[in-house]
Amino acid sequence: MANTVTDVSRTALVRRARKIDRVLGETYPDAKCELDFDNAFELLVVTVLSAQTTDKRVNAVRPTLFAAYPDAKAMAAADREKLETIIGPLGFFRAKTESLLKLSAALVEHYDGEVPPRLDDLVKLPGVGRKTANVVLGNAFGIPGITVDTHFGRLARRFGWTELTDPVKAEHAIGELFPKRDWTMLSHHLIWHGRRICHAKKPACGACPVARWCPSYGEGPTDAEVAAKLVRTEGRA
């Protein structure tokens, strides 16, 4: 016989989680990947570059980068010093240059310069983990994926969807709460909310559209006027 309490609790969790996602979807109707890109190769590269820096900085160097190296074949043959100069403003430029050269070379060698639309293939590429792979699959190929970045993981725990801190385990646990078709937009909704209202150190609880369903309500200021001053109109990270 099924554990009734567990079943009821699970059902309530799923309903609450999906309600939060619906409200966040209404709050952020324009939510999307905040990295600029024109194709799968560009998205893969800018996602790799976005580590330890902001999307805004990556977007700033993107035009120069892809004017010089528009595809994997061109980037694989890039002059290391020139490539380092272009991405220098992003920090960790030597390590990132190495990643881009190896990544592009692998694409040329194994996939004729094209980005493969499969998770198992993407995560075998140098410098590409599940987070990056899911960003590319969801936004370049329309294949649902959950992107567990720092914002997503933090909010999922605050919402009580999971206590897991391991990104892969959290991805699977949260994926069970939502239809697969919703995974990509769910990721955008949480990331946008995390960048604008549900901040790491001081969440704007008093200005939060999902406060009534959040078990962590009160971690930040609940006064509406105080909270309103913490709201960002654009994401910073």
Active site residues: 131, 149
Question: SS in 3 state form for the chain?
Answer: CCCHHHHHHHHHHHHHHHHHHHHHHHHCCCCCCCCCCCCHHHHHHHHHHCCCCCHHHHHHHHHHHHHHCCCHHHHHCCCHHHHHHHHHHHCCHHHHHHHHHHHHHHHHHHHCCCCCCCHHHHCCCCCCCHHHHHHHHHHHCCCCCCCCCHHHHHHHHHCCCCCCCCHHHHHHHHHCCCCHHHHHHHHHHHHHHHHHCCCCCCCCHHHCCCHHHCCCCCCCCCCHHHHHCCCCCCCCC
Q: Who's near 81: CB < 8 A, 6+ residues apart?
A: none
Report CA Rg, the chain.
Answer: 19
- Looking at the chain, how many residues does it have? 237
Q: Which amino acid is at 40?
A: A
